[in-house]
């Protein structure tokens, strides 16, 4: 009868904070009775468990019979949810507005139409201020019902106001739905393959965009429509690796919140996502100073006045903040400092691991591996690469799975594990062929590593590194090959071998050159 930790009640109780547990018990203990006492005992028993087990519950609490347990669990779950709603109603804007709509409905049913109308007006003001289009449509529907309850001379005028207002709200919702659907389509495609690999991928992404987007005039869109439009366009341009266009729309996205600060609280997740997108584009375009400015904005989110950070947003902040800390060290080529930061983040990741999806974990592992590789910690890099290579979900981010194998090959070369290099060359070739991801970049690296065992002198080795660099360098301008260089800066690694310098030194010199060039442009 032992049940896995997937039991929904167990999961819910384990997510409760101390404050939430305290509030729940206060609410429950107000109502005396045997049934309440039973499910409070059930709550305490489950809360104390490290693994959910119904046999232990029945063994420890004889007052609960096996036949009672399912109903008690269901009742307890409902009571916890009601307690959470009560506790967080003052923090969650959607709940606050919906509460007003509910009150208006109750008063409407009691024929107190004037009172219902006044409460509905307050709800409408809040919904407008915080850009809650879905709730505005709910309010609009109730307003139409109320119109029929007032017999006034100007009812025709009110009807003529309500009809176009409803049509406008419906049009806005249709656009928001269309834009968000496009974002989801692109995200699902990106989760499967990563960045576009070939013209077929590009044509598919294009078909998503142009078959989905309605005819619109950007200046006439509401703020909420624009947020979802920019989200979808940023996703498209990132997916197709057009970071200049992605940067333009990410800037416009964040500017909407800068112009309407009240929206940050009501659309916190979209704000964080927008700032994150801006940071991603700035890092890809080597806009280091802009990146630092935007990162400060990102780190200030938690200290914004009247901000409420629920668990899902807390996870989002940890995820993005950690990745940008790592990205900053990549941009500077400071792999020694970055490796120390990775050590800290890896420890923190353990606390969040159960709340992150497999995709997020793969990204973290790959970034960790790249940082350790850059700091010559090849064994540590191999550890995280193996976490990726051994993942069971082979249909998730095929690009990361592919490049993890390439980087793993190079790590074993650095570790002088020549037998393993030979083995992984064959298995990597098979994997890439199966995934239809055997492009020029991958093919040339595999051939290079395969031939290394035949190289006898340092001079021959240096020549081999030069030849590979000269073969790969032109691919950085190829629209379907350049994605490879975003996963691993192999050109800098090759140059470190050619010039017998640490890879950090090579990258730092390039960073300095880019920063000077960028400053000159801005000047």
| pLDDT grade for 399, boundaries at 50, 70 and 90 | confident
Q: State the residue range of the domain holding 48.
A: 8-88
Among 43, 65, 88, the domain-final residue is: 88
Q: Is residue 505 part of a domain?
A: yes
Q: Is residue 57 part of a domain?
A: yes
Cβ-contact 271, 253 below 8 angstroms: no
Q: How many CB atoms lie within 10 A of CB 219?
A: 6
pLDDT at 370: 93
pLDDT exceeds 60 at position 56: yes
The C-alpha atoms of residue 334 and residue 347 are separated, in whole angstroms, by 20
pLDDT exceeds 50 at position 496: yes
Q: Is residue 475 part of a domain?
A: yes
Q: Is residue 149 part of a domain?
A: no
How many domains in the chain? 2
Q: Is residue 489 part of a domain?
A: yes
Among 71, 88, 105, the domain-final residue is: 88
Helix/strand/coil (H, E, C) string of 332-356?
Answer: HCCHHHHHHHHHHHHHHHHHHHHHC
Residue pointed to by tokens 């704000």: 271
Q: What is the pLDDT of residues 183-213, one digit of tens each?
A: 998 888 888 777 888 888 888 888 888 888 8
Among 46, 66, 88, the domain-final residue is: 88
Radius of gyration (C-alpha) of the chain in whole angstroms: 29
Q: Is residue 232 part of a domain?
A: no
Q: Which phi and psi (to 5°) does residue 213 adopt? A: -65, 130
pLDDT exceeds 70 at position 468: yes
Q: What is the pLDDT of residues 414-466, one digit of tens each?
A: 898 888 888 888 888 888 887 766 788 888 888 888 887 677 688 888 898 89
Q: Is residue 155 part of a domain?
A: no
Domain holding 377: CATH number? 1.25.40
Q: Is residue 451 part of a domain?
A: yes
């Amino acid at each position: 009868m032992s049940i896995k930790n997937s039991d929904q009640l167990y999961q819910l109780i384990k997510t409760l904070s101390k404050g939430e547990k305290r509030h729940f018990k206060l609410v429950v203990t107000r109502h005396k009775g045997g049934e309440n006492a039973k499910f409070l005992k059930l709550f305490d028993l489950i809360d104390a468990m490290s693994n959910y087990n119904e046999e232990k519950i029945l063994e420890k609490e004889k007052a609960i019979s096996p036949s009672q347990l399912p109903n008690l669990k269901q009742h307890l779950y409902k009571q916890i949810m009601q307690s959470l709603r009560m506790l967080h109603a003052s923090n969650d804007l959607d709940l606050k507005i919906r509460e007003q709509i509910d009150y208006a409905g109750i008063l409407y049913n009691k024929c107190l139409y004037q009172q219902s109308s006044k409460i509905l007006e307050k709800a409408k003001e809040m919904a407008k201020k915080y850009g809650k289009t879905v709730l505005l449509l709910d309010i609009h529907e109730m307003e139409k019902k109320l119109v029929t309850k007032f017999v006034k001379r100007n009812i025709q005028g009110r009807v003529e106001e309500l009809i176009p207002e409803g049509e406008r709200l419906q049009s806005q919702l249709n656009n928001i739905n269309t834009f968000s659907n496009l974002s989801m389509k692109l995200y699902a495609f990106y989760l499967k393959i990563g960045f576009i690999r070939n013209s077929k991928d590009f044509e598919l992404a294009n078909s998503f965009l142009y078959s989905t987007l309605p005819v619109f005039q950007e200046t006439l869109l509401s703020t909420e429509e624009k947020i979802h439009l920019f989200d979808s366009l940023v996703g498209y341009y990132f997916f197709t690796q057009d970071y200049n266009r992605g940067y333009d729309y990410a800037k416009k996205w964040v500017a909407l919140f800068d112009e309407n600060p009240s929206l940050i609280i009501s659309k916190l997740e979209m704000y964080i996502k927008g700032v994150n997108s801006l940071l991603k584009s700035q890092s890809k375009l080597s806009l280091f100073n802009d990146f630092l400015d935007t990162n400060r904005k990102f780190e200030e989110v938690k200290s914004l006045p009247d901000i409420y950070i629920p668990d899902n947003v807390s996870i989002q902040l940890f995820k993005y903040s950690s990745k940008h800390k790592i990205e900053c060290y990549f941009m500077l080529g400071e792999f020694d400092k970055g490796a120390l930061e990775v050590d800290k983040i890896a420890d923190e990741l353990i606390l969040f691991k159960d709340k992150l999806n497999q995709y997020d974990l793969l990204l973290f592992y790959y970034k960790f591996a790249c940082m350790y590789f850059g700091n010559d910690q090849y064994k540590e890099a191999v550890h995280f690469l193996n976490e990726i290579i051994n993942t069971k979900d082979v249909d998730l981010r095929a690009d990361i799975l592919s490049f993890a194998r390439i980087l793993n090959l190079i790590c074993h070369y650095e570790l002088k594990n020549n037998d393993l290099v030979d083995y992984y060359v064959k298995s990597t070739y098979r994997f890439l062929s199966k995934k239809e991801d055997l492009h020029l970049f991958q093919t040339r690296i595999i051939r290079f590593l395969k031939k290394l065992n035949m190289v006898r002198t340092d001079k021959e080795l240096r020549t081999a590194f030069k030849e590979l660099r000269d073969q790969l360098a032109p691919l950085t301008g190829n629209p379907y090959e350049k994605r490879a260089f975003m996963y691993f800066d192999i050109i800098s690694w090759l140059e470190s071998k050619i010039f017998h310098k640490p890879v950090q030194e090579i990258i730092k010199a390039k960073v300095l050159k880019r920063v000077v060039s960028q400053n000159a442009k801005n000047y």
